[in-house]
Amino acid sequence: MAFKRECRSYFYYLADIRDLMLEIKRIDVKMAGVHAVDLTKVRVRRDPWKNRMIKYVEQRTALQKRLQEKQDQVENIINTISRVSLPSYRVIIWMIYVQRKRIQEVADLYGYTKDYMANQIIDLMDEVFDARIAEGSYIPPEPMPDSGEDAVEDTEDSVSFS
* Mean pLDDT computed over every residue of the chain: 79
Angle at 38 between CA 26 and CA 43, to 5 degrees: 110
If one compares 60 and 37, the residue with the highest pLDDT of the two is 60
Domain extents in the chain: 1-33+52-82, 85-140
Give pLDDT, residue 29. 86
Q: Can you give the pTM of this predicted structure? A: 0.67
Residue-wise pLDDT for 18-52, tens only, equals 999 999 999 888 888 766 655 566 565 565 666 77
Amino acid at 42: V
Confidence tier at 61 by pLDDT (50, 70, 90): very high
Angle at 119 between CA 126 and CA 95, to 5 degrees: 80
H/E/C letters for each residue in 111-139?
CCCHHHHHHHHHHHHHHHHHHHHHHCCCC
Residue-wise pLDDT for 117-160, tens only, equals 999 888 888 877 777 777 766 655 555 555 555 444 444 444 44
